[in-house]
Amino acid sequence: MTFSLNARSSRIILIILLAVIGTLLVLSVAGQVSKYYFGHPHLKGMVPTFYVDNESNVPTWYSSLALFFAAVLFAVIGAYKWGERDRYRWHWLIWAGLFTLLSLDEIAMFHELPIAPMREAFDFGGVLYYAWVIPGAAFVFLIGVLSLRWLFSLPRRTAWGLVTAGAIFVFGAIGIEMLSGAHAFNQGEENFTYSMIVTAEEMFEMLGIWLLIKVLLDYIVKEIGEVRLTIGPSRTTQAGGM
């Protein structure tokens, strides 16, 4: 079986991903309305299964897959750049590794490990209630500075697309996370307002990754051309006979 990555298949992928994002957000909001306004917090497990702030559920699975798909696209470009002996080939491969780790973190939640010890050490509250945002913001700043020369080497449309996608994702992951932390610190997490804040947070994260995937797909189509993935043994045609 052969899959071809080209302009047409890229559009189909993006439409499907956008439809999935919209569906997950609608189901999450509907579940929270059911929980807080109609007194049905479970609906036979459907509410927690689609709530975007829960772990080990459908939205988490989708986000992890989307991040890993972005990692695969970075790796595809990196492999092509490696063959071309491009000066920045390592940058693409490093970003592939980074997004693989982000995909794993989406499920394993490694980024939350510093929260408890940092709260105990510094008594953080308010917008720093989820204290992982401090090392998270520092890491984002560092990786951004280290990527500047690579970004300037890219076509302007691609560079601005990557920056915009990153800004949208970080705004959700860190910016709105700080807002949800302040609300949780003051009023707790079990209320409708908190659920809507984290829904907005996840929406920006999902849309940021969607835009990133779009930028990478566009770059592959324009700079590399059609990419074919063959699963299973390749067929060979043999001429001649007895």
Using a 10 angstrom Cβ sphere, with 0-12 exposed, 13-18 middle and 19 or more buried, the burial of residue 224 is: middle
Measured CA to CA, the distance from residue 150 to residue 146 in angstroms comes to 8
Q: CB neighbours of 130 closer than 8 A, spacing ≥ 6?
A: 112, 115, 177, 178, 180, 181, 184
Helices (H), 84-191: 89-108, 115-122, 133-146, 148-153, 156-170, 177-187
Secondary element (H or E) of residue 71: helix 58-83
* Least trusted range by pLDDT, from 6-15, 68-77, 84-93, 233-242: 233-242
* Least trusted range by pLDDT, from 50-59, 80-89, 95-104, 226-235: 226-235
Token digits of residue 74: 């970075």
Q: Helix 192-219 to helix 7-37 angle, to the nearest 10 degrees?
A: 180
Measured CA to CA, the distance from residue 105 to residue 207 in angstroms comes to 18
Q: φ, ψ for residue 119 (rounded to 5)?
A: -65, -45
At residue 159 the predicted structure's pLDDT band, cuts being 50, 70 and 90, is very high
Give the three-state DSSP class for 4.
strand
At residue 32 the predicted structure's pLDDT band, cuts being 50, 70 and 90, is very high
Q: Is the pLDDT of residue 238 over 90?
A: no
* pLDDT given for residue 7 in this prediction: 87
CA angle 118/134/68 to nearest 5° reads 110
Q: Is the pLDDT of residue 236 over 80?
A: no
| pLDDT tens, position by position, 194-220 | 999 999 999 999 999 999 999 999 999
Average pLDDT over residues 3-22: 92
Closest CA to 172 of 210, 213, 122, 216: 210
Specify the pTM: 0.91
Give the three-state DSSP class for 42.
coil
32 close to 51: Cβ distance less than 8 angstroms: yes
CA-to-CA dists, residue 228 to 32, 69, 123, 191, 212, angstroms = 42, 16, 53, 48, 21
CA angle 208/76/162 to nearest 5° reads 30
